[in-house]
Amino acid sequence: MIKTGAQIVMECLLEQGVDTVFGYPGGTVIDLYDALYEYSDKIHHVLTAHEQGASHAADGYARSTGKPGVVIATSGPGATNLVTGLATANMDSIPMVAITGNVNINNLGTDAFQEVDIYGVTFPVTKYSFIVKDQKDIADALRKAFYIAQEGRPGPVLVDILKNAQSGTTEFEPAVPKEILPKNDKLTGESIEKAIDIINEAKRPMIFAGGGVNLSNATDSLMKFANKIGSPISLSMMGLGGCPADYEYFTGMLGMHGTRLSSTAVTNCDLLILAGARMSERVTGNAKTFATHAKILHLDVDAAEINKVVDSTTSVIGDLDTVLSILAEKVEEKTDMAWRKQILKWKKEYPVVVEERGKIAPHNLVRTVAEKMPKDTIVVTDVGQHQIWAAQHYPINNPRSFISSGGLGTMGFGLGAAIGSKSGNPNRKVVLFTGDGSFQMNCNEIVTAATQGLDILIVLVNNGVLGMVRQWQKLMYKQHYSQTTHNRKIDYVKLAEAFGATGFDVTTMDELEAAIDASMDIKGPVIINAMIDKDFSALPMVPPGNKYNEQIFKIEV
């Protein structure tokens, strides 16, 4: 059948099972939006306030549902506004397809109005990208884009479509999407045998799992494997939820803001199994001194992650769920309980570090929200101290339920990501923990949540300062609080109301509880502005360059 390029885009989205897209119209995507108008009964478009918000929404949608997130933006500034969102998704290996318009082919390369080489701009921050100049190439590019975004190690893909290709017509032939199978082309029997040997020899195995567990839906196989070999599990921030927080031998996070329990377990293990973790320097500290006493088994779908930062004794390259399932099946069961008992002993000896000051302490705030929200709540964060507190104190018991910008650390990520998470999971509660710094970056998206009628609980952990940078200034820059004490007099209740949302100011735990209770019956987004002292720190902390287990537990005020 003959269709316009824009209609073909819609048909390809439907082929891929896409029913929700995020975006913002503009001159070079009017044809796409004209087709969206025609397909509005099949594809729901969420109009954001800014393209960056749309990009984070598509990302949050993908993280929480496992399906690729789709974002549409116009050429020039529309496209460049996606760059932070693409980089965020790229660092955390999130499947996303970004569709941008570009100028007519006659104007291409002439510095036409709103022309930018977004294909070139996004090379370093995408897994792959296409520029489509002719309508007959649209279907092929989009089908490949969805495949590449999801196959193997996922990532964002950009498809830049010229205006003439959107408006021009061509023959469209429907196709069934190419099946995405677990990527195991480098998985060898030999690597599995070596892994089994090293595991069977180990007396004190320890698993450190990363975002790969969530991406590969490997929670069940991970738990089966861990139980069989009696291994405690530590998670990176990206891995949270991949092992339920209530697993008896869960040790918390490892690294810059990891627990003493995790670093102690790593220090004492004789085999460290890295599972779907890319070993960021935020985890390893000084990489040369990371767990040098232990044998290391690295499991990853991306061969380039092996020996990139941490040298491994041996490795298995393949889909994490596949690999863990095979290992769980084939390794010998470990019946000696000594190591497990030792972990539980340390767990009692090294409780999670908290600070008490003023009327609301961050750990109490996070735990109170957690107690009042349903168990399957999706927890979204922005970036900064509140992110660490949420990661440390909110028990995440389900995969794909802790949505946070781990690699890029994108302040302003949270609200868009919460919108995306709620759009993809209308029957689950979504709570966003944000800070006053992060929230001010993209709070324009409150209007999106309000217009869409999305019930999102926004807990604004407000200390009036850019707390994480301030914490570093306190520790390493002689208390020179350069530009981190912003002290802006924002009335968040009025701000919420101005955008059609509801707001509460809370200064005590009682007020916090009352506001959370009240939020349960309120339609649309609710902002709880919780005032806390400016001198709380994210602790423990491994100062940059330190060994992973050289933690500090207190920063003097």
Partner 1 sequence: MEERRYVLSLIVQNKAGVLSRISGLLTRRGFNIDSISAAETEKPDISLIIIVFQADAHTAEQIMKQLEKQVDVFEIRELRSPESVTREHVMIKVKAAPDERNSIIAVAGIFRASIIDVSPETMIVELTGESSKTKAFIEAIKPYGIIQVARSGIIGMSRLEAPVLKEMF
Q: What distance in Å separates the CA atoms of residue 95 and residue 114, rounded to the nearest whole number?
A: 27
For this structure, is 347 an active site residue?
no
Of residues 15 and 505, the one with the C-beta less far from partner 1: 15
Residues 15, 38, 67, 114: which is the catalytic one?
114
| Among 113, 171, 520, 550, the one annotated catalytic | 113
Amino acid in the structure at residue 168: G
Q: Decide if 113 is catalytic.
A: yes
Do residues 241 and 217 make contact, with C-beta atoms less than 8 angstroms apart?
A: no
Length of the chain: 557
Measured CA to CA, the distance from residue 324 to residue 491 in angstroms comes to: 50
Residues 90 and 155: beta-carbon distance below 8 Å: yes
Instruction: State in angstroms the smallest separation of the CB of 305 from partner 1.
Output: 8
CB of residue 237 vs partner 1: minimum separation in angstroms?
Answer: 23
What letter does residue 63 receive in the DSSP assignment?
H
Give the amino acid at 173: E
- 170 to 189, contacts with partner 1 by CB under 8 A? 185
Interface with partner 1 includes 228 (CB under 8 A)?
Answer: no
**Which residue from 128, 247, 472, 481 is in contact with partner 1, where contact means CB under 8 A?**
128
DSSP 179: P
| Only segment of 53-61, 144-152, 354-362, 423-431 that touches partner 1 (CB under 8 A) | 144-152
Q: How far is the CB of 253 from partner 1 (least distance, A)?
A: 27
Report the Cα–Cα distance between both ends of the chain, in Å, rounded.
70
Q: Binding pattern to partner 1, positions 31-60, x when CB under 8 A?
A: ------------------------------
Among 7, 11, 51, 474, the one annotated catalytic: 51
Element containing residue 433 per DSSP (H, E): strand 430-435
Q: Give the x-and-dash track for 185-214 against partner 1 (CB under 8 A).
A: x-----------------------------
Segment contacting partner 1 by CB under 8 A, of 38-46, 123-131, 167-175, 208-216: 123-131
β-sheet bridge partners, residue 98: 71, 158
Q: Is 468 a catalytic residue?
A: yes
Q: Using the rule CB under 8 A, is 281 a contact of partner 1?
A: no
- Is the preceding peptide bond at 205 cis, omega within 30 degrees of 0? no
Among 302, 428, 403, which Cα is nearest to 62's? 403
Question: Which tokens in the block code for residue 20?
Answer: 């929700």
Identity of the residue, 153 or 470, whose beta carbon is nearer to partner 1 in the bound complex: 153
The four Cα atoms 388, 265, 283, 228 give a dihedral, to 10 degrees, of: -100
| Residue whose token pair is 């318009």 | 101
Taking residue 416's Cβ as centre, other Cβ atoms within 10 Å add up to 35
Total residues binding partner 1 (CB under 8 A): 19
**Does 144 contact partner 1 by CB under 8 A?**
yes
Would you count residue 148 as binding partner 1 (CB under 8 A)? yes
Please identify, using beta-carbon distances, which residue of 67 and 144 lies nearer to partner 1: 144
If one asks whether residue 136 binds partner 1 (CB under 8 A), the answer comes out as: no
Give the DSSP H or E segment for 14: helix 5-15
From the CB of 300, what's the least distance to partner 1, in Å?
11
Return the residue of 45, 127, 204, 386 that touches partner 1, per CB under 8 A.
127
The backbone region for 136, taken as left when phi is positive above 0, alpha when psi lies in -120 to 50, beta otherwise, is alpha
Nearer to partner 1, 116 or 196 (CB): 116
Least distance (Å) from partner 1 to the CB of residue 503?
43
Q: Return the residues of window 296-355 that contact partner 1 according to CB under 8 A.
A: 302-304, 306-308
Q: Does 134 bind partner 1 (CB under 8 A)?
A: no
Give the residue, chosen from 17, 120, 174, 544, that forms a contact with partner 1 under the rule CB under 8 A: 120
123 belongs to the binding site for partner 1 (CB under 8 A): yes
**Which residue in 209, 530, 521, 123 sits closest to 360, CA to CA?**
530
User: Between vectors from CA 46 to CA 45 and to CA 48, what angle results, nearest 5°?
Assistant: 140
Q: Taking a C-beta distance cutoff of 8 angstroms, is the pair 458, 524 a contact?
A: no
**Contacts of 395 by beta carbon, 8 Å cutoff, 6+ apart:** 245, 246, 370
Could you give the 3-state DSSP secondary structure of residue 134? coil
51 assigned to active site: yes
Q: Which is nearer to partner 1, 148 or 207 (CB)?
A: 148
**Residues involved in catalysis:** 51, 113-114, 163, 468
Q: Return residues touching partner 1 (CB under 8 A).
A: 119-120, 123-124, 127-129, 131, 144, 148, 152-153, 185, 302-304, 306-308
